[in-house]
Amino acid sequence: MLAAATEWSCLLPMRSGARTMGAEHLAFYGKVMKNEKLTTDEYDALEQVARGIKTERPSACVARNAKRLSGLKLLSYARDGRLSITEKAQQLLFVRRCIMGLRAVAADPLAKLYTDVAYFLGKKAHILARADGQGHDISDKGRDSLADIDTLGL
């Protein structure tokens, strides 16, 4: 009985004077968000919807993954049946582009990056502009972040 009470205590509303999320709330969100690791096919479907679906019917990739992605609150259906990505999906795609950009710079310093990705990684000191103006070098902080990402399997 006690174990069930502690598991459900994370569902209780926060105290009115609390300014930050308590550990029990973070544990609850960790339980809910566990199965959010996406496949390459699901990322491709998100990118296709983000670019915009030009025809009346979505592609096979989007149709195959739409149910799970909408369940994860990454896709939403409009009243007329059109698909759009949510803000959460936009953030997820941006983080993925940043990770891919960091890996690209680690492999080849002359790799081309999206402007917003290069700006973000430069602002967070993960990459440094080269002295000759051609490409970027990865910083120690960037190498550490890349090692952490690889250990997590992202």
Task: Give the CA count within 13 Å in the CB-facing half-sphere of 14.
Answer: 12
Instruction: Copy the structure tokens of residue 6.
Output: 């502690």
Read off the pLDDT of residues 47-82 as tens digits, 9 standing for 90 and up: 999 998 888 888 899 999 999 999 999 999 888 888
Read off the pLDDT of residues 5-62 as tens digits, 9 standing for 90 and up: 444 444 444 444 444 444 444 344 444 445 578 899 999 999 999 998 888 888 899 9
Pairing of strands 75-77, 83-85: antiparallel
- Alpha-carbon distance 137 to 17, whole Å? 46
| Other beta carbons within 10 Å of 42 | 20
- Alpha-carbon distance 109 to 127, whole Å? 10
